[in-house]
Amino acid sequence: MPTCGVGLLRDDLERRIVRLAIPALGTLAVEPLYVLVDTAIVGRLGTPQLAGLAIASTVLLTVVSLTAALEYGLTPDVAFAHGRGDEPEARRVATNGLQLAALLGVPMGLALGLAARPLCWLLGGRGDVLEYASTYLRISAVGLPFVLVAYVGHGVMRGVNQLRRPFVLVVVANVANLVLEIVAVYWLDLGIAGSAWSTVFVQILAAFAFLGIMRPHLTRLRPAWARIRPVLTSGVHFAVRSLAMFAVWNSATFVAARIDTPTLAANQVLTQLFMFLALVLDALAIPAQSLVAGALGSGRPGEASRVGRSSTRLSVWAAVVLATALAAASPFAPHIFSGDADVRSRLTAGLLILAVMQFPGAVAFAYDGALIGAKDERWLGRQAIYNLLGYAPLALATLLAPSLGLAGLWGAQLMWMSLRAWVNSRRWHRLSANNFGLALSAVGERPAGAG
C-alpha cells in the first residue's frame, strides 16, 4: 500500500485503517481476475469467442451491480449492531442478507438464463458472436445465486472487520478457476462453454466456503418481510447509484466511438486504468464503512467523524502517489498499450487528465465509504443522479464537437468526479456537525447527545 510509510500514519486509527485496507485491496483486485482469466483463455479460441465474452460480461456486470446492497449495504448494518454489542442483532442482519440473496439469486438466475439470447442481441451480438455470447451467459446464470452468497459473505465479514479469510478464499478460488479453465478449454476441448462452466463450479465452491466462514455470524431465523424489506430498500438506492455511474462510463464509450477509432481505443485504455487505480482508493474506503458504522453503533459520533477525516487523508496521500506515477509515465506508458501513433498521442494527454482526476477521486471515494458506513445510501443514490449534471455538459459538447476529442471526454469525467468530491464532503461535514442524527435515525438509534 503506497500510504503505509510510518511517517504518514499519525495514530492507531490510521494504522488500523491501513491494516484493513491491505486485504481489502487484495480482495478488490483479485475478484476481477475471474473475468480477466476468462478473457485471456477465451481470447486464444478466436475473435468471435472473445467478442461473445465481451458482450456476455457486460450483461453480467450490469446485473450483478444491481445487487450491491448485499455487499455494501450489509456491512454498515452488521458493523452498527456489532459496535453496539448486540451480537444477536448482527447475526439476524447477516441471516436476513443471506435470505435475500436466495430470494433474489434464484429468480434472477432463471430470468438471466431465459433472456440471455435477446439481451446479447440487443448489445450487438450477431452470427457466431451471438451464439458464443448466449452460451456463456446462459451458463453463467447458473452461478448467479452463488455469486450473491459470496457478496453477502464479503459484506458480513467486512462488518465484523475480518478481511483476511475472505481474501485467502478469493485467491484460492481464482487459482482454482485458472487451473480448471485450462483443463476444460484446452484439454477437454469444451471451448467457451468450458470456460463458463469452470467459473460457475468455482463460484459454487466459493459460496459454500463463505457459508462456512460466516456460520458463527448467522442464526436460525425464518424469513420475515418486515426485516428483509429494509435491506431491499437499501438495495434500490445502491442500484440507482450503480446505474448512474455506469451511465457515465457507457456514454463515454458511446461518444468516443463516434469520434474516431483511435479515440475509442485510447478511451478503453484510460477506462481500464481508471478502474484499476480506483481499487487502491476503494480499499481505503472499505474500512471506513465498518469503522464509521461501528463507532455510531457504540454511541461515539466523534470517533465516526475522525474515521472519515483519517480515511480521506490517507486516500489523498494515495492519490499523490498514483498521480505522480501517472504523470511521470505519460510520455512512455502509451507505447505499452498501442503501436498506433494516433492512439499514443491521445493517451499521453488522457493520462495527464487521469493523474489530476486522482485527487477529487480520493476525496469522493473516501467519503463514499464513510457515508455508506453512516447508512446514508438514500442520499448517495439520489445524489448520483444529480452528479451527472457535472458530466453531461462537456460530454454533450464533445459529442457535438468531436474536435474536443479525448480531452473533452475525460475533462467531463474530471468535472463529474470533482462534483462528487465536493458534494460528498459537504454532506459528510453536515452529518458530523449534527452528530449523525440523520444517519442514526435511519437505523432507529441515537446516542446520548445526538443532535
Condensed to tens digits (0 to 9), the pLDDT of residues 243-298 reads: 899 889 888 888 887 888 788 778 877 887 888 888 888 989 999 999 999 999 88
Query: Given a cut of 70, is residue 226 above it in pLDDT?
Result: yes
Task: Tell me the longest C-alpha to C-alpha distance in the chain.
Answer: 67
Query: Given a cut of 60, is residue 346 above it in pLDDT?
Result: yes
Query: Given a cut of 60, is residue 450 above it in pLDDT?
Result: no
Distance between CA 393 and CA 202 in Å, rounded?
44
Query: Given a cut of 60, is residue 163 above it in pLDDT?
Result: yes
Distance between CA 435 and CA 412 in Å, rounded?
35
Give the mean pLDDT of 120-135: 87
Residue 361: what pLDDT?
97
pLDDT band at 206 (very low <50, low <70, confident <90, very high): very high
* Residue type, position 296, single letter: L
**Burial level of 426, CB count in 10 A (0-12/13-18/19+)?**
exposed
Give the mean pLDDT of 441-447: 46
In percent, the amount of the chain with pLDDT more than 70 equals: 92
pLDDT band at 91 (very low <50, low <70, confident <90, very high): very high
pLDDT band at 7 (very low <50, low <70, confident <90, very high): low
Residue 30: what pLDDT?
60
Distance between CA 361 and CA 410 in Å, rounded?
13
pLDDT band at 440 (very low <50, low <70, confident <90, very high): low
Give the mean pLDDT of 342-350: 87
Least confident of 39-48, 196-205, 218-227, 300-309: 39-48
Residue 31: what pLDDT?
60
Residue 441: what pLDDT?
55
Residue 238, C-alpha cell as written in the block: 445502491
Query: Given a cut of 50, is residue 451 above it in pLDDT?
Result: no
Residue 449: what pLDDT?
33
Distance between CA 363 and CA 422 in Å, rounded?
8
Residue 342: what pLDDT?
84
* Residue type, position 72, single letter: Y
Answer whether 0.85 is exceeded by the pTM.
Answer: no
- Residue 429 C-alpha from the chain's centroid: 24
Residue 373: what pLDDT?
92
Distance between CA 28 and CA 372 in Å, rounded?
17
